[in-house]
Structure 1
Amino acid sequence: MRKTDRYPVDHANSLWKVYHTVSFWKVARNFIVIQMARITPFFSVKNWMYRTFLGMHVGEQTAFALMVVPDVMFPEKITVGNNSIIGYDTTLLAHEYLIGEYRLGEVRIGDRVMIGANSTVLPGVTIGDNAIISAGTLVHKDVPPGAFAGGNPMRIIYTAKEMEARRQERKP
């Protein structure tokens, strides 16, 4: 189970109550910053924008590819370690608005993590150091350090131990 905080709502679905949970002006500002960062070709500028304007925790030498979408409502709940790659058009969500409740959860991405293009990371997920996520993956649960994961629904394809064994097999 993902690590999220659950907040029940009455009457209308939770998205109708969105501006009771987050300021309209915060969302508007974040939307503008994210849209600018999505097309900015300079990693250092993107990281600066994410840290300065969105309050994200972004490590050194981390690269957000073109068109990445961090959570527009709660980007401060996203942490990405050092020297990681977030692939093209990946979405990092820290919130879920559902019919009877909304959920918030930290997204923690470790050091030297590679997330393939067009992936979606759901709230409350931790991706361990040195993990690899294949393109198009829905990351709906934690990924252990060093693992290779992929698919929809996501599954662990190789553990860190199995990945190391595969590397040893390829050495001459």
Structure 2
Amino acid sequence: MRRTERYPVKEANSLWHIYKTVPFWKVVKNFIVIQVARYTPFLPVKNWLYRNFLGMKVGDQTAFALMVMLDIMFPEKISVGKNSVIGYNTTILAHEYLIKEYRLGDVEIGSGVMIGANTTILPGVVIGDGAIVSAGTLVHRDVPPGAFVGGNPMQVIYTKEEMEQRDKENPLATNN
């Protein structure tokens, strides 16, 4: 189960309550910063924008590819460790608005993590250090450190131990 806080709503669906949950001008500012960063080819500038304007924790040498879409309403709930790669057009969400409730959850991406292109990461998940997430994956639960995962729904393809064993058996298959 993902680690999210649930907030029930009455009457209309939760998206109709959006500006009761997050200030309008915060959303406007975040939208502008995220759109500028999505098209910026300069990785240090992106990380600076994310840290200083969105309140994200971003480790050194982390690379956000072009078109990465961060949560507009709650980007401060996203943290990424050092030397990780977030692939092209990945979406990272820290909220979900549903019919009868909305949910908020921190997203923690470890160090040395590789996220493939077109991945969607849902709120309340932890992606462990050294994990690899295949392109096009829906990350709907935690990813163990060092694991290789993929698919929709996400499945563990190899654990860290299985990958290490495979690398011992076939040294040419390593990514060194």
TM-score range with shorter-chain normalisation? over 0.9
CA distance in 2, matches of 1:40, 1:169: 42
Residues 1-26 of structure 1 deviation map (CA, whole Å, 9 limit, x = unaligned): 00000000000000000000000100
CA distance in 1, matches of 2:57, 2:73: 15
CA distance in 1, matches of 2:140, 2:27: 24
CA distance in 2, matches of 1:25, 1:17: 15
- Corresponding residue number in structure 1 for 2:141: 141
Q: Secondary structure at the match of 2:52?
A: helix
TM-score (norm 1): 0.99
Residues 110-157 of structure 1 deviation map (CA, whole Å, 9 limit, x = unaligned): 000000000000000000000000000000000000000000000000
- Corresponding residue number in structure 2 for 1:111: 111
CA distance in 1, matches of 2:170, 2:87: 26
Residues 49-77 of structure 1 deviation map (CA, whole Å, 9 limit, x = unaligned): 00000000000000000000110000000
CA distance in 2, matches of 1:98, 1:152: 20
For structure 2, which runs of at least 5 residues remain unmatched after alignment? none
Q: Give the deviation of 1:80 after TM superposition.
A: 0.1
Q: Give the deviation of 1:171 after TM superposition.
A: 1.6
Q: Give the letter aligned to residue 141 of structure 2.
A: K
Give the number of equivalent residue pairs: 172
Q: Secondary structure at the match of 2:34?
A: helix
Q: Give the deviation of 1:169 after TM superposition.
A: 1.8
Q: Secondary structure at the match of 1:26?
A: helix
CA distance in 2, matches of 1:55, 1:71: 12
Give the share of equivalent positions with the same residue, in percent.
72
For structure 1, which runs of at least 5 residues remain unmatched after alignment? none
- Corresponding residue number in structure 1 for 2:78: 78
Note if 1:21 corresponds to 2:21. yes
Q: Secondary structure at the match of 1:161?
A: helix
Summarize the alignment of residues 118-157 of structure 1 with structure 2, pairs less than 5 Å apart. 118-157=118-157
Q: Give the deviation of 1:166 after TM superposition.
A: 1.4
Give the CA RMSD over aligned residues.
0.6
CA distance in 1, matches of 2:161, 2:10: 47
Q: Give the deviation of 1:167 after TM superposition.
A: 1.3
Q: Secondary structure at the match of 1:49?
A: helix
CA distance in 2, matches of 1:118, 1:57: 22
Structure 1 runs of 4+ with >4 Å offset: none
Q: Secondary structure at the match of 2:44?
A: helix
